[in-house]
Structure 1
Amino acid sequence: MLYLVPSPLSQKTPKQPLLEADLALVRQCNTWLVENAKPARAALGLFNMPVAIRDLQILEIAQLNPQQRHDVIQRCKAGDPIAVMSDAGCPGVADPGAEIVALAHRLECPVHPLVGPSSILLALMASGLNGQNFRFYGYPPLDPGQRDAWIKQSERESKTQQCTQIVIETPFRNEKLIDALLKQLSDSTLLCIGWDLTGDEQQIHTKTVGHWKKRVPSPGKSPCLFLWLSA
């Protein structure tokens, strides 16, 4: 079985994210396919694994070649329980774990997603924006010109379709994205910004862009979610 294991969202004040019944499942796993080894070890420290973390096989997905990935999934299919874990939140969503899950399906290896925090759904739940029709884009374009044009286009789509637009951003680019959103979106558009979700410093606020301009938020380098809906 290939277990898809959610990890803590907050890096500042991480909390054990799994159901008690699911902890029993992940404690069977001695091989972990992860985004990055350092945050994976930190998350594993919350799971009270029955063996020392140094004795687990922790493999960074990006470092595995196609044959190595194939071999790991074949082991899993043969009965070795293996886990996939992201740096934060649910694996496979804006995360390289999706490549492993796709391979598992091609090789007919069973996949079992575990219950845990999704920053996307938590932010949408708390935003008050349209939860019936929403679109998650992942990361916005890196090029400033392309990013600004994309923000304008997404706002037009939001207005015509009444669709909540959702993006994430690398924490060190939070301020640049906030600045771009406040410049490119209409003052009447509702903008929700949430950061450090599930952490002790969690903040989630929905205001018009015009209101945000009067007091620009400062999430620092906390992981952020950005959602907007055009009136």
Structure 2
Amino acid sequence: MQMASLFLIPVTLGDTPIDKVLPQYNKEIISTLNYFIVENVRTARRFLKKSNPDIDIDSLTFFVLNQHTHFEEISNFLLPLSQGNSVGIISEAGCPAIADPGADVVAIAQRKGYKVIPLVGPSSILLSLMASGFNGQSFAFHGYLPIEAVERSKTLKILEHRIYNEHQTQIFIETPYRNQKMLEDLIRTCRPQIRLCVAANITCEDEYIRTLTLKEWKDQHPDLHRKPCIFLLYK
């Protein structure tokens, strides 16, 4: 009998068909679990039903982990593990614990000595890096950059410095409705010869991945409004 484990369960990026990006093994694991740690119960239930149409959703227990969850509550989410029951973590999109609050759960599980098992699935960070043509040996993911104009400009200059001095690919994201503003800020702030890769709706039908210099981006007008995007910079 397998030891009770914390399974990190990837989710599709957008409305991508599950069979396109998630292995059958994930579905088999999901069918054995009764406890799930999720960001949103409604979307988690929908994902689980897609993964296994025969699953008895109403028999499952969900623990909600989001920006409103108090840190002291998180340990209680792992109580089923102490009783011999495995638990799954489901993100809203992509891989749990990567730019995701699930990392706090994993940290507690590691401290308590529970077995943590990451399942295979799509990571927008890695997929965009693969498709960019940039340095995959050395890269850094920064999450969201500052919103305030002066701080953002300062941060972009720091990232530019790392590109040239450390030969490191710089990766970051933006709130979907501010994508166009991010593109404009990059063109205005960074050297025109720096290359930018914009990756939007990865693995979806309208996937868009393009690498150009910032000078070339000035003449491009991609529709990025409200689309999940990743931005990558390199020389």
2:52 matched residue in structure 1: 48
1:117 matched residue in structure 2: 122
What is the TM-score with the length of structure 2 in the denominator?
0.91
CA distance in 2, matches of 1:111, 1:40: 20
Counterparts of 1:1-231 in structure 2, within 5 Å, are: 1-10=5-14, 13-16=15-18, 17-48=21-52, 50-62=54-66, 63-230=68-235
Q: 1:131 to 1:36 in 2, by over 3 A?
A: same
CA distance in 2, matches of 1:132, 1:37: 37
Structure 1 residues without counterparts, runs of 5 or longer: none
- Shift of residue 65 of structure 1? 3.8
- Shift of residue 56 of structure 1? 2.2
The AA in structure 2 aligned to 1:28 is T
What is the TM-score with the length of structure 1 in the denominator?
0.93
CA distance in 1, matches of 2:143, 2:31: 31
Q: 1:150 to 1:202 in 2, by over 3 A?
A: same
Is residue 195–residue 219 contact of structure 1 (8 Å, CA) maintained in 2? yes
Is residue 77–residue 110 contact of structure 1 (8 Å, CA) maintained in 2? no
* Identity %, equivalent residues: 36
The AA in structure 2 aligned to 1:164 is T
Structure 1 segments (4+ residues) deviating >4 Å:
none
CA distance in 2, matches of 1:67, 1:182: 43
1:177-199 deviations in Å (ceiling 9; x for gaps): 11111111111000000100000
Structure 2 residues without counterparts, runs of 5 or longer: none
The AA in structure 2 aligned to 1:19 is P
Partner SS for 1:129: coil
CA distance in 1, matches of 2:28, 2:94: 19
Q: 1:72 to 1:86 in 2, by over 3 A?
A: same
Is residue 31–residue 83 contact of structure 1 (8 Å, CA) maintained in 2? yes
